[in-house]
Structure 1
Amino acid sequence: MNSYYLTELESQLLNNLFDKKEHGDIYRLGKLFSTESSNYFYDTGTGKVLLLDDEIYKIMDCLFDRNNSETYESFINQSVSISSKSIQEFIQVVMEENLLQAPKLNKLYTYNHYENLENMVDNNLSQLILELTGKCNLRCGYCIYNDDYIYNRSFNNEDMSQTVAKKAIDYANEHSEKEVAITFYGGEPLMNFGLLKWCIDYSRKTIIGKELTFSLTTNLTLITERIAKYFAEVPGLRIVCSLDGPEEVQNSYRKYVNGKGTFSEAIRGLKHLVDAFSGTENSISINSVLAPPYNYTKIESINNFFENLSWLPKDTNISIGYAAEDSVPNKEQHIQELSNDSKYKTKQGSINPLWIWQKGQTEINEKIRNGSNSIYASAAEESLLKIHKRFIFDKPKDFYPFNGCCIPGSRRLYVDTKGDFYVCERVGLSPSIGNVYDGINLKELRKHYIEDFSNLSSEKCSDCWAIRLCSQCYVNCYTKDGFDKNAKDQKCRVQRHAAERELSFYHSVYEKTPYKLEYLNDIEVY
């Protein structure tokens, strides 16, 4: 059997790629993925995506299929039926487009995480999050503050004092630049409504010459007509409303301490807010949690509920996601019940009914944002944006950002009831980075959230093709003592599956209805 005729340079390049395969180093250089009609390759080093014809796909498959035992010698001796022309085209594209050359990771890095960190922390605080209280009038079945959830604090009876709140607001004023957002958190922040009002009044009096905005997340049950009208009079206030859907869905998990369902009071509270904010765009959004059972019937019932809520303003931003891992008893059992039904499985084999449903809705609707209150638009947009706005270089760069991490102590600063500083309200148990009395402890911040995160992540990240598409941040990667490498490593498979799924989703939309993606150009990503 004759071998292919290759120039010395072509032979050297191909031999080098098969050598990388033999040593397991090729798999970090990119990823093959597919849509219903086409095969593609994502290149790690450049961020470019190539549409592959059948011949080029065979070559790529020889290189990237872990179950394919093809070697350089067997390949050039035509053990795979590929034309010489296709091989030469493949090599030419690799050389001209600078593919399969991603540099090895040195460290996770951005300028703002290292050289400019002190300046960002001192002068560019964007969001202050105040834990007004540890109290809540509900005991939702999936809440991360329940006693059974070991990764976070439990509910408590502590309220933030006015002294702590004042010092936190003064800190934000001193360490922010042109804009500052103040967010009220709990517990249920309305359990300390008096302090909430005081914080708004004090902030508006003292933060001068900056764009000042406010936000809070509420379970809605304590919203009265009077409170709603007050909120509507506060300039720049946005409210995230926790509401899971129709009565039977809401009441199955979102319950009072005595076990009574909350739907009636929550929907009444939402109506008060909608009436009070009438004519004000984007002031109200809704966050829903999907808890077991996970099936399309339930998802459709939630979607129909919001779409048919006639008094809810059209195109209200409604986000929905699964309950936090380990927050729901027997969650794995619920997922296992779906494992034998192929309609709930992604291409990667994971059980993900919400994603599959949202993807289907994107395909059948004329626009992503179509003027309805569907629960698919927010998640679809987020996934498409991630690919649309990805890093793309002509030549590979030795630049690998901090996964999905923000600048700790700058993008947001979480202040608990005692006045201690943390990087985020979502991170859970984690090392403090200061307090309202002494300010930021830059040494502790650098150690736990820059050096440890980068150094202890590097082993896994350096071998991962999805390193520039990874959205894993500090959430669920820490204990109160510091970075938890094992916890973060467990997220890697989920992140790779998500990246592959999103690449396929984006290019499927691009193939069939590219006009749906055009509006993404106008969205800024920070």
Structure 2
Amino acid sequence: MEKPFIHLLSSINGFYFYDVNRNEIVNVDKDVYDFLIKLLNDEEVIPNKEVKNKVSELKENNYLSSNTIKEIKHPESDKLEYHLDRHIDQITLQVTQNCNLRCSYCAYSKFDNLSQRNRSNKDMSIETAKKAVDFLLQHSSDSDKVVISFYGGEPLLKFNFIKEVISYAQENFIGKELSFALTTNATLLTEEIMEYSINNNLDIMISLDGPEEIHDLNRRFADGTGSFMKIVENLQKLKNKYGDELKNILRINTVMDPKNDLDKMNTIFENEIFKGLPVSSVIVENFFSNEQTVYSNKFLEKYFYQIFIGILDLIGAVKDLNTYPLIASVINAIYTFEENMTVAKGLPEVGAPGGPCVPGKRRLFVAVDGEFFPCEKVSEVSKVMNIGNLDNGFEVKKADDLLNIGRLTPVECKKCWAFRKCNICARKLEKEGKLSGDEKLSMCGDVRASVEEDLKKFILLKECRTIYKI
């Protein structure tokens, strides 16, 4: 029997394999599981009649195929020029590279780091901004909804500039659903800004890392003082005036430093000012830094316990569970993963690992000088990540290279069981000015471990519903 393209998993309740071709988790008896282990490990094994019949039945139902991708090519490759010419959904304007805070984990504050730009006083000119709006208009013909987002630095340092850009866009975008977004540290938020945001469909994401003693560890003004109390003062004024209407405009993003106490971080949401506001969270990332992210054991224990609580809440196992807002995005990701476990007939002849978005289509980042990058998370000093500019348009070949990072490691990708679920992004693959296959391969172990964890959570959901009937 040929070696099937599967990955084996088990729980306290049963034995399973993930069928890569079918994108499906399959429950099997232990004798079949043991046979498949030996088969995958190239051990000599002769199944007994009972196992042979069970395996034959699985194969008759199109499981245990050894089929793999024959050619690595992203399915959107042939449509890339179309997407960039007519189907851009969002642009993010880098309003300024200046900021009134000096956050300790900010990539732009690491002056000893050559892999990212440094903080500067550069601002985007209104001519560049209008040119970017025109570019979006010309290249979004087939997008029903478009978003213009404002980013920094701290974009509210240039609020009048933002208003001028929004007015210009509103005058020129006819027949499309147009909305705006802004990411801010909230120290400059005023009633005037909120009133304008409510009236002009401007969604505001504010950065808040926890209560004062945690938030102020990292997010400080240039003079070293903490920013928490100023944010609270601003939001209290807005809460007094707008009440629950804030829920439609404001969102909170928390950067969780895993050296800190998760329980303490979450106490911020007991404050009436923040109750009910949508929350997302990320773990602090030091990719553009020489520092390593340090996880305390207490943080990890509490983090995974809260995920467990969140899963119980997701399946409705226990009434009135108090789940942490900071874990909401993790639980949403589990739900999204479950939705994406759609059974397939098999792998196509031509395909690519999951992970890369279509560079420039989803949220084209326009730097202060009009240079193009796939999004705001990549290095702005990278020639690899620079995919064009306002004067000359897109460099489609460079965008295609970012889309097709699977071509860097075709042999390994074709045989990887995590092929469908891979989340490697090109932004982490640059080495000496080029996309590196070695850098990509160095990430594969962590990716497979992450995908396996996601599959185990999926199995837990299935077992809760079938075995425990909840």
Q: TM-score, normalised by structure 2?
A: 0.89
In structure 2, the partner of 1:441 is 395
Superposed displacement of residue 428, structure 1: 1.9
Of the structure 1 ranges 318-327 and 404-413, higher mean CA displacement relative to structure 2 is found in 318-327
Cα distance in structure 2, aligned partners of 1:313 and 1:293:
25
Whole-angstrom distance in 1 between the partners of 2:238 and 2:410: 47
Shift of residue 379 of structure 1? 1.2
Note closer, same or farther for the CA distance 1:380–1:150 as it changes in structure 2 (3 Å cut): farther
RMSD: 2.9
Stretches of structure 1 lacking an aligned partner (at least 5 in a row)? 1-13, 18-25, 77-81, 345-351, 519-526
Give the corresponding residue for 1:381: 332
Q: Provide the residue aligned with 1:424 in structure 2.
A: 375
The one-letter amino acid paired with 2:14 is S
Change in CA separation of 1:394 and 1:292 when aligned onto 2, cut-off 3 Å:
closer
Give, in whole Å, the separation in 2 of the partners of 1:300 and 1:328.
27
Query: Are 2:309 and 1:361 equivalent residues in the alignment?
Result: yes
Q: Distance in 1 between matches of 2:292 and 2:69?
A: 38
Contact 1:358 1:379 in 2 (8 A): no
Cα distance in 2 between the residues matched to 1:436 and 1:403: 29
2:119 pairs with 1:155: yes
Equivalence for 1:186: 152
1:175 alignment partner AA: H
Distance in 2, matches of 1:513 and 1:259, equals 52
**What is the aligned partner in structure 1 of residue 81 from structure 2?**
118
* d(CA) in 2 for partners of 1:168, 1:155: 22
C-alpha displacement of 1:213? 0.7
1:133–1:158 contact (8 Å) kept in structure 2? yes
1:51-92 Cα distance to aligned partner (Å, 9 max, x none): 12221221122234x5xx732xxx22xxxxx75212321232
Give the match's secondary structure for 1:375. Answer: helix
Q: CA deviation at 1:151?
A: 3.1
In structure 1, which of residues 317, 336, 349 is the aligned counterpart of residue 278 of structure 2? 317
Cα 1:434/1:209, change in 2 over 3 Å: same
1:57 paired to 2:38: no
CA-CA distance at 1:393 after TM superposition: 1.3
- Once residues 272 and 473 of structure 1 are traced to their aligned partners in structure 2, the CA distance between those partners, rounded to angstroms, is 41
* Number of residues of Structure 1 aligned to a counterpart in Structure 2: 460
Give the 3 Å change call, closer, same or farther, for CA 392–354 of structure 1 in structure 2: farther
Q: Is the 8 A contact 1:359 1:505 kept in 2?
A: no
* Residue among 248, 251, 254 paired with 1:285: 251
**Offset, 1:310:** 2.2
Match of 1:242 among 188, 207, 212: 207
Aligned to 2:99, what secondary structure does the other structure show? coil
Which of 36, 43, 46 matches 2:22?
46
> Structure 1 residue 231 and structure 2 residue 197: aligned?
yes
In the alignment, is the contact (CA less than 8 A) between 1:46 and 1:397 conserved in 2?
A: no
What is the SS of the residue equivalent to 1:91?
helix
| 2-structure distance, mates of 1:89, 1:367 | 32
TM-score by length of 1: 0.80
Equivalence for 1:90:
55
- Name 1:409's counterpart in structure 2: 360
For 2:357, what is the secondary structure of its paired residue?
A: coil
What letter is aligned with 2:161? L
Helix, strand or coil: the match of 1:468?
A: helix
CA contact (8 A) 2:307 2:330 kept: no
Kindly tell me: are residues 105 and 149 of structure 1, through their superposed partners in 2, closer, same or farther at Cα, counting changes over 3 Å?
Answer: farther
Deviation at 1:411, TM superposition (A): 1.8
Shift of 1:279: 2.9
Residues 94, 151 of structure 2: 8 Å contact kept: yes
Mapped contact 1:403–1:473 kept (Cα < 8 A): no
Matches of 1:466 and 1:117, distance apart in 2: 25
- Is 1:221 aligned to 2:197, yes or no? no
The percent identity for this pair of structures is: 28
Question: Which region of structure 1 is more displaced relative to structure 2, 376-385 or 361-370?
Answer: 361-370
The equivalent residue for 1:171 is: 135
CA contact (8 A) 2:107 2:289 kept: no
Whole-angstrom distance in 1 between the partners of 2:113 and 2:237? 33
Does the 8 Å CA contact 2:93/2:149 hold for their aligned counterparts? yes
- Letter paired with 1:365: D
State the one-letter code of the partner of 1:43. D
CA contact (8 A) 1:135 1:187 kept: yes
Structure 2 runs not aligned, ≥5 long: none
Q: CA deviation at 1:450?
A: 3.9
Question: Does 1:70 pair with 2:43?
Answer: yes
CA distance in 2, matches of 1:395, 1:441: 34
| 1:384 and 1:502 in contact (8 A); partners too | no
Q: 1:498 to 1:270 in 2, by over 3 A?
A: farther
Could you say what secondary structure the match of 2:134 adopts? helix
Shift of 1:98: 3.4
Q: Contact 1:45/1:395 (CA < 8 Å) preserved in 2?
A: yes
Deviation at 1:233, TM superposition (A): 1.8
Correspondence 1:488 to 2:436: no
Rounded Cα–Cα distance in structure 2 between residues aligned with 1:277 and 1:169: 33
CA deviation digits over 1:165-195, x for unaligned, max 9?
Answer: 0100000011113221001011111122221
> Residue 105 of structure 1 contacts residue 458 of structure 1 at CA under 8 Å; is this kept in 2?
no
Write the distance in 1 (CA, Å) between the matches of 2:403 and 2:59: 35
Indicate conservation of the 8 Å contact 1:142/1:291, yes or no.
Answer: no
Counterpart CA distance in 1 for 2:231 and 2:456 is 38
